[in-house]
């Protein structure tokens, strides 16, 4: 029922596939790939429905899409309305949430300079995690 209300509040029609996909996203402890979502939902839900649903959820701010720059592949994270940024390992693809945001003052300055009303931002930092650095030596 919670999913139904959330979708209704976002002005998204409730369907069984959307309900299942949203449930999987909410239960995921870390960002999840489209393939992993597909494995956890009813097999009768086709891939194009999953793509369209994730795109719709992203447009409505229900999920964040994180793209691995090196491969172009994406993972999705349910928006728990926490302001987090991400550290992404380019070797093992581990994602670490960073809750501190250094962009508040910068965002305000840019808004004043440009006249934009900034509604959100997303910061992703790419590097090599300590475990991968250790195994490379």
Name the binding residues.
83, 89, 92, 121, 129, 132
Give the pair of three-digit tokens for residue 32. Answer: 């999840």
Binding-site residues from annotation for Fe cation: 83, 121
State the chain's maximal CA–CA distance in angstroms.
Answer: 52
Binding-site residues from annotation for Zn(2+): 89, 92, 129, 132
Q: Cα separation of 121 and 78, whole Å?
A: 16
- Asked if 20 contacts 41 with a C-beta cutoff of 8 angstroms, the reply is yes
Q: Cα separation of 49 and 32, whole Å?
A: 17
């Amino acid at each position: 029922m919670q999913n139904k209300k959330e979708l209704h509040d976002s002005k998204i029609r409730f369907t069984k596939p959307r309900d299942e996909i949203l449930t999987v996203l909410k239960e995921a402890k870390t960002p999840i790939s489209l393939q992993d979502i597909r494995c956890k939902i009813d097999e009768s839900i086709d891939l194009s429905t999953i793509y369209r649903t994730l795109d719709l959820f992203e447009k409505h701010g229900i999920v964040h899409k994180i793209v691995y720059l090196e491969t172009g592949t994406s993972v999705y994270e349910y928006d728990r309305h926490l302001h987090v940024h991400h550290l992404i390992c380019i070797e093992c693809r581990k994602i670490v949430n960073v809750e501190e945001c250094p962009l508040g003052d910068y965002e305000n300055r840019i808004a004043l300079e440009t006249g934009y009303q900034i509604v959100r931002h997303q910061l992703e930092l790419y590097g090599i995690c300590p475990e991968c650095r250790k195994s490379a030596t």
